[in-house]
Amino acid sequence: MKQDRQTVVMDFTGIYEKEQFYKGEAFIWIDCRDIRGTNCYCDEEAETILKERIRQLGPEGIHFIDSGNYHYMTKLWTDKIQEPFVLILIDHHPDTQPSLFEGILSCGCWVGRMLEENSNVRKVVLLGAEDSLIEEIPEKYRSKIVSYNEEAVIHDQVWQDFRKKHIDAPVYLTIDKDVLDSSQVKTNWNQGKLKLQDLKKIIRLICLHERVIGVDISGECQGSILEETGRRDVEQDDRINAKLLYFLEDHERNLK
């Protein structure tokens, strides 16, 4: 990542106020809790407000974008990229389904919208999605999406062969923590089976071999902090976020 990297925290639900991972960092806090029309579906008014709130920021750096309900923020961040790029999507879901409300951006359709509207996207590399969901990717997107399931992506040689064939531009990396097993972290969507060490291995291979423009991370839990299970879920989120942030920053320092 570029040396002008920034750590951005976009708080839609209040979850990040209960976490500690970003404290001690030079971070940019964007409070989005006052914006109506953002939960799962981002209506036109909300989209306009969100674009304005990130207008002065570039796509570089590490962006924490709350739960998977707000994964559509990846589209808004990548709309800022001014060169051809490959999106690497580490997610248990392809996020290519049509929106239930035509013209409205959502957490389930944002990848399709990005492919339709952003001419700089050369390809989407989907890592860790469930096989049955990969099969449901609409035909019109299949020429621009290549995928490996969670068993394949953790093997070095598989990745080396894959990247040489499919990655021919700088990358933007987006990570939904629902790719992780529920023993690692709890999200509000069904989850994969990767362990944190597997995810870090994938990230390491990407950082070592590709020019990473920026990264975003979603998949926060939505448990109540007033409940014991909710507190544990938040603590898991906080711990995973801290490890991912340190890991990404450490790789950046080593690559300079």
Structure tokens, 106: 């959502």
- Give CA–CA dist 143/253, Å, rounded: 36
- Which pLDDT score is estimated for 178? 95
Look at residues 193, 161, 160, 198 and name the one whose alpha carbon lies nearest to residue 179.
193
Look at residues 85, 4, 7 and name the one whose alpha carbon lies nearest to residue 248.
7
- Which pLDDT score is estimated for 142? 94
> What averages of pLDDT result for each successive group of 10 residues across the chain (256 residues)?
74 94 92 96 96 97 96 98 97 89 90 96 93 92 88 68 88 97 91 92 90 96 64 93 94 58
